[in-house]
Structure 1
Amino acid sequence: MTFETLTMEKNGRLATLTLNRPQSMNAMNGAMMKEITEALEWLHDEKEIQVLLIKGEGRAFSAGGDIKAMMDPTNPLDIDTVMVDVSRLAKALYTLPMITIASVHGAAAGLGFSLVLGCDVVIAEENSKLAMNFIGIGLVPDGAGHFFLKERVGIPKAKQLIWSGKVLNGHEALALGLIDEVTAEGRAYEQSEIVAAKFLSSPVKAMIASKQILHTQNVHELERILALESSSQSAMRRSKDHLEGIQAFVEKRKPSFKGE
């Protein structure tokens, strides 16, 4: 497959998916969300691939949703269409019949962080900036952010992270159980390749079978959460707090939220 916002490389039983909008810190516009979805769904039929490595080109893994695209009056974002793609993306990632590894450097925020948390193994550099920061623009997590956070840290801690929007470095994220390994700056991709090679020299077919056993029982819950995220996000996009949040972001000032 060929993409405008991604690259996909296959090397034997390993595939590498690279988010490729470096000029925007891999912020996800509608085209990128759609292409990630299509890439992950395509991988479901690639029976020879057993490990997928996901990384970002340039200075960051992904800064999250493209806020400038959200505000473009000439090409307004259709939130309902976007949420269909985001929900497909999350389900395709969670049900992939292969081991998934996220290699994180720089920012992994918002939807980018949801994508990271949906991977089986997360390796991040110590100075990474990881945040479920939808709250900063008056939105709720999407891309199954609620589901993946709950799986990683449980409901009480998930609520705290969602409500605070706190930015965490690699060591802080590891201490909370959000990621699996921290590396020195500039070493995440190298370490991810080492981990991928270890999987490929292990009885990985059995590992994938165990993943599918554990994940299959949760797919219905995932689908329910994705439906709730979609309806909530659509409502929040129309809220006064969201409009204030994105305006404050563009103007580089602190937002003044009213709970409306």
Structure 2
Amino acid sequence: MDEDKALPSSIEFEVEQAVATLRLNRPDVRNAIDDDMRAGLIGLIDRVARDESIRALVITGNGKGFCSGGDIKSMKQRLQVPPGDIAFNGWRRQQRTHHLVSALHDLPKPTIAAVNGAATGLGCDLALACDFVIASEASTMAMTYVLRGLIPDGGGMYFLPRRVGLARAKELIFTGRTVKPQEALALGMIDRIATADRLVREAQDWAAEMAQGAPAAVALAKSVLNQSFELTAEQVFGMGSQAQAICYSTRDHLESVQAFLAKSAGKEKR
């Protein structure tokens, strides 16, 4: 497909039945994200959003790491520009990063990060931007930004407190320490642990379970849930009412009701 040809070599992509699997493919640098990869990821996530045959997305990494964050070469280039351009260039880079994270977070389909190795900095943010995180026994997670004199800029300050609570998020961000799978599971940073050889398969199987849900219902529920911490109960109820009204008109709802009524009618005749 033409869309496949547009993918950079730093990304691998496949679809099995209704589940898409995206593999970060820069194993020599632990899948650090450079400009080409970031642009490719944004385009691919948009493609997944538009493709009605894809019902769920799994993201993992090739090699020993999930994602080591931003590419060090990009950081070096940032420091080499004239002082008067550093801030604005950094702002523009931030906009592209936020575009990527927002596209993943807002994707109207279930997303699972299959963390196969170290997920540090932006890599940790990328995993937390997914709806669910399953990690291998060999994985680690760390908000290493502070060790580079930076703050989490890939959504970590939004996603992490929602998973582990505010005080624990502050501790992990202020120290930049490494979290191993069992602790990550206890804290709520991740949802499941798998053996390395079964990680991606289990993530795909889990995604396939969620792909059974009616696409419109899943998308609408996710859109409300993603905002629920910032809204009042009344606002959530209101948005839920609007979403439900849309669900009433969908083919999935109509067919499920007809199937239920037909089954009930069959039982009554016996």
Query: 2:21 corresponds to which residue?
Result: 16
Query: 1:227 corresponds to which residue?
Result: none
Runs of 4+ in 1 over 4 A off after TM superposition: 72-77, 202-205, 216-220
Query: 1:181 corresponds to which residue?
Result: 192
**Cα distance per residue 1:46-95 (max 9 Å; x no partner):** 23321001111111111111123311489869422221111111111111
Residue 28, structure 1, aligned to residue 22, structure 2: no
Conserved? CA contact 1:63–1:109, under 8 Å: yes
Pick closer, same or farther for the CA change 1:182–1:63 going to 2, 3 Å.
same
Residue 83, structure 1, aligned to residue 83, structure 2: no
Pick closer, same or farther for the CA change 1:33–1:164 going to 2, 3 Å.
same
Name the SS for the 1:197 alignment partner: helix
Query: 1:134 corresponds to which residue?
Result: 145
Deviation at 1:216, TM superposition (A): 4.4
**Quick one: percent identity of the two aligned structures?**
36
Residue 50, structure 1, aligned to residue 43, structure 2: no
Deviation at 1:170, TM superposition (A): 1.0
Deviation at 1:43, TM superposition (A): 2.5
- Residues 61-140 of structure 1 mapped to structure 2, 5 A cutoff: 61-72=66-77, 78-140=89-151
Task: Provide the C-alpha distance between the structure 1 equivalents of 2:194 and 2:170, rounded to a whole number of angstroms.
Answer: 27
Pick closer, same or farther for the CA change 1:85–1:188 going to 2, 3 Å.
same
Name the SS for the 2:178 alignment partner: coil
Aligned residues: 220
Task: Provide the C-alpha distance between the structure 1 equivalents of 2:144 and 2:26, rounded to a whole number of angstroms.
Answer: 20
Structure with higher Rg: it is: 2
Q: Which structure has the higher relative contact order (CA within 8 Å, separation 6+)? A: 1
Query: 1:3 corresponds to which residue?
Result: 7
Please, which runs of 5 or more residues in structure 2 have no aligned partner?
232-270
Conserved? CA contact 2:18–2:55, under 8 Å: yes
Residue 211, structure 1, aligned to residue 222, structure 2: yes
The CA RMSD over aligned residues, in Å, is 2.3
Deviation at 1:19, TM superposition (A): 0.9
Deviation at 1:201, TM superposition (A): 3.8
Pick closer, same or farther for the CA change 1:139–1:47 going to 2, 3 Å.
same
Deviation at 1:148, TM superposition (A): 0.7
Structure 1: which amino acid aligns with 2:193? Answer: V
Conserved? CA contact 1:33–1:82, under 8 Å: no
Task: Provide the C-alpha distance between the structure 2 equivalents of 1:73 and 1:155, rounded to a whole number of angstroms.
Answer: 31
Task: Provide the C-alpha distance between the structure 2 equivalents of 1:34 and 1:80, rounded to a whole number of angstroms.
Answer: 16
Partner of residue 196 from structure 1, selected from 207, 223, 226: 207
Shifted more, 60-69 versus 115-124: the winner is 60-69
**Cα distance per residue 1:183-232 (max 9 Å; x no partner):** 12332112112212222345565334321221245699xxxxxxxxxxxx
Pick closer, same or farther for the CA change 1:53–1:215 going to 2, 3 Å.
same
Greater share of helix: 2
**Cα distance per residue 1:104-150 (max 9 Å; x no partner):** 11111100110100111100012211111101100000111111112
**Which TM-score applies when normalising by structure 1?**
0.77
**Which TM-score applies when normalising by structure 2?**
0.74
Residue 170, structure 1, aligned to residue 175, structure 2: no
